[in-house]
Structure 1
């Protein structure tokens, strides 16, 4: 659908895209600062975020699923998990029903250092959200979920498979 470039909607859309870009860049800087402080690489940080998100959703993530999410081979995932386990960031838990199955969880030490580092950001985020009504936040949440879905779909078209067929 054609819309003239100087409409209020076009200007607002451009500002939102710019804000999202700035937010993403700043979030990456913060993530890299956390990683550097704790001797973690970019992939290490992505793995920790994946484990944290799975736990927050009430799901458990397996090494295989982590490898799929990060587009890593099985050997690379094993080395990554070994490294994060040695540094106290994650732990392996065996499934009580099937001892062959392993789940990854945030270790107490890893959770402690993450909370300590990110607590000030969480407090700032809470102060911003307190300025909006529940209805406003519902609209923002719906917008963000749709933007995340759009971004992931685009990301997935760019990501090569680690296991060519």
Structure 2
């Protein structure tokens, strides 16, 4: 790792603008999640968790409770309470699909998946239009850059997770 002090580096206007646009996307995504919560009639944390479960399941990589805890920034105990609420409300179910019977897999119920898809069909129009209109080369550049910035954030989170607080 190269030692760089992000507070003393002279950033270009373009680099600063990229950070602003990434922040704007994060804020917009958070607001979309709040709308999903209202749509699903769930607290924000529950909607965030359900969204992560649906997204992972749709990608063919269903989550375990521990993976969900990390993604939503909650302790495993708090995540268990949240999952109990989602399961009681009929939004998720836990199963043991792995050869390791101790591993729990989280899946959205068909009704929760359908309701989340209804939301995406309604709420995702502008994003779908923007992605559909993007030039393939533009998308390749964006994918490459976002992969790098995501890896950098993951590395920072890993380092911070293993650093003692002063």
Deviations 1:44-79 (A, max 9, x none): 233223323432432232223323444444432221
Partner of 1:82: 84
How many residue pairs get aligned? The number is: 157
- How far off its partner does 1:135 sit? 1.8
Partner of 2:54: 52
- How far off its partner does 1:121 sit? 3.6
Q: Measure, in 2, the Cα distance between the counterparts of 1:46 and 1:159.
A: 22
Structure 1 gaps, min length 5 = none
Q: Measure, in 1, the Cα distance between the counterparts of 2:72 and 2:85.
A: 16
Q: Which aligned pairs between 1:63-142 and structure 2 lie closer than 5 A?
A: 63-95=65-97, 97=99, 99-142=101-144
Deviations 1:61-117 (A, max 9, x none): 222332344444443222111111122221122227455432101111211111111
Instruction: Select the residue among 17, 20, 38 that pairs with 1:18.
Output: 20
Q: Measure, in 2, the Cα distance between the counterparts of 1:116 and 1:155.
A: 33
What's the RMSD between the two structures over aligned residues? 3.0
- How far off its partner does 1:157 sit? 4.4
SS at match of 1:26: helix
Would you say the 8 A contact 2:46–2:86 is kept in 1?
Answer: yes
TM value normalised by structure 2: 0.75
TM value normalised by structure 1: 0.76
Structure 2 gaps, min length 5 = none
